[in-house]
Structure 1
Amino acid sequence: MTTPEAPQYADRCYRSSAGIGSGVLLLALTAWLGGDALVRGTGRTPWLALAGMLLVVPVVIAFTLRPAVWAGEDRLLVRNPFRTITLPWASVDTVRAGYSSEVLAGGRKYQLWAIPVSLRQRKRAARRVTRDVAQGTPGAAAAPEPVRAAADQAIADLRDLAERCAGRESAQGAPVVRWAYELLAPAGAGAVLLAVLLAFA
């Protein structure tokens, strides 16, 4: 009799909707202003616009659209502005949220850009718990899952996943860091071109 395999679940994905929204708006504004300068500009203006867009677009993408965190049964994949960090669960020491969300692994600390901490949400969650207790809401004081801010809840979920999955055979290994050269290269080229154009103004 064969033992049934454990069910496989899709990775959990954490992203900042506010970051994505602001990124789309900034890219639209950059395309509008830069495109207008490229089409209607005279003299060195189109070149300055091109250099500026080469620099600005990758930076905007890096800090708004790119950040994401994927958590599976074997590893935590952290995509920050200019780096992608793969962390097998066995290498993760802890996941925590103070003024920022971060994971400690292999003696190093990595920020989780995709899970921003909101002190306002924390205060709102604390006020809600206090209000429910004061109003005598049934089970408010002894709720098994206290009301948390979104970032704190995500960190709690990741910490629980790390504790449960660290012993898996497929979750062993060391952290792996890869730089996002696909963003660094055009941003660097734009910065160099802009510096040259401004130097010979």
Structure 2
Amino acid sequence: MTSPEHQSPDPEPMNAAGSATPQYQDRIYRSPAGLVGGVLLLALIGWLGVDAVFAGEGRTPWLALAAMLFLVPLVVAYTLRPAVYVNDDRLRVRNPFRVIVLPWGRVASLRSGFTNEVFAESGAKYQLWALPVSLRARSKANRQEARAAARAALGDGGGRGGRGGRGAVGPAEGPRRHESDRAMGEMRELHERRQGAETAQGEVTVRWAYGIAAPAAAGAVLLAVLLAVG
């Protein structure tokens, strides 16, 4: 559910024009919960699938192979693959089936609602799959912020002696926002600073992940054929 950020080399670094620029290192935002869930699902599919292939009879091994060919790419696409790569020049969004590169100069806004999204100047909207929204964590942070504001008001209004001073300590800590909300805030600040930079200009590019979609489609067709002739 969280999506912390860390420094790591970008495996597919690109500049605003889409050319390779290996000198950059990107800040990467991912979902640890998605990674853990994906690994567990792949382990479960592998265990059941391998058992069916070697111990099954009749069409069972073929059905198991087709199901694995269909399910494994989907699990990878929706759990292990999503990531957001950020540097001073551009935002690269790696979603389940597409990679979108948006130079900061082409980003109109970053918005958070039920999902986190980036809007291009053309009006196109792209969801940030790697940054899932936690409404529960957001509500908790809002409550903490309200309590901190109330403590600050009491500290300012009744600041006599030591008690007023102690009352003002609480707000300094600030509310603990969910990781995805904090990541969106950091990206908005970077967008405001860099949207006018010369190196942050260029065109928005969208590239489909055929290496994920093709095996899943082949597995779906094979599974459908096996079930139809059954």
**Contact 2:99/2:209 (CA < 8 Å) preserved in 1?**
yes
- Which residue of the partner structure matches residue 101 of structure 1? 116
Measure how far apart 1:74 and its partner are: 0.7
- CA distance in structure 1 between the partners assigned to 2:176 and 2:213 by the alignment: 40
Q: Does 1:116 align with 2:132?
A: yes
Q: TM-score, normalised by structure 2?
A: 0.79
- Given candidates 141, 150, 154, the residue that maps to 1:125 is 141
Give the counterpart letter for 1:26 in structure 2.
L
Measure how far apart 1:17 and its partner are: 0.7
Partner SS state of residue 183, structure 1: helix
Write the deviation string for residues 127-174 of structure 1: whole angstroms up to 9, x where unpaired: 222333445542655x59754222221111111111111122121111
Write the deviation string for residues 72-117 of structure 1: whole angstroms up to 9, x where unpaired: 0110000001000000110000011111000000320000000011
- Which residue of the partner structure matches residue 38 of structure 1? 53
- Alignment length, in residue pairs? 193
Write the deviation string for residues 55-86 of structure 1: whole angstroms up to 9, x where unpaired: 00000000000000011011000000100000
Q: TM-score, normalised by structure 1?
A: 0.90
Q: Which structure 2 residue ranges, 5 or more long, are not aligned?
A: 1-22, 156-166
Q: Which structure 1 residue ranges, 5 or more long, are not aligned?
A: 1-7
Partner SS state of residue 76, structure 2: helix
Partner SS state of residue 111, structure 2: strand
RMSD: 1.9
Write the deviation string for residues 17-51 of structure 1: whole angstroms up to 9, x where unpaired: 11111101000000000010011111111100000
Q: Does 1:155 align with 2:193?
A: no
**Contact 1:55/1:187 (CA < 8 Å) preserved in 2?**
yes
Measure how far apart 1:9 and its partner are: 7.0
Instruction: Trace 1:132-147 onto structure 2 (pairs within 5 A).
Output: 132-135=148-151, 137-138=167-168, 140=170, 147=176
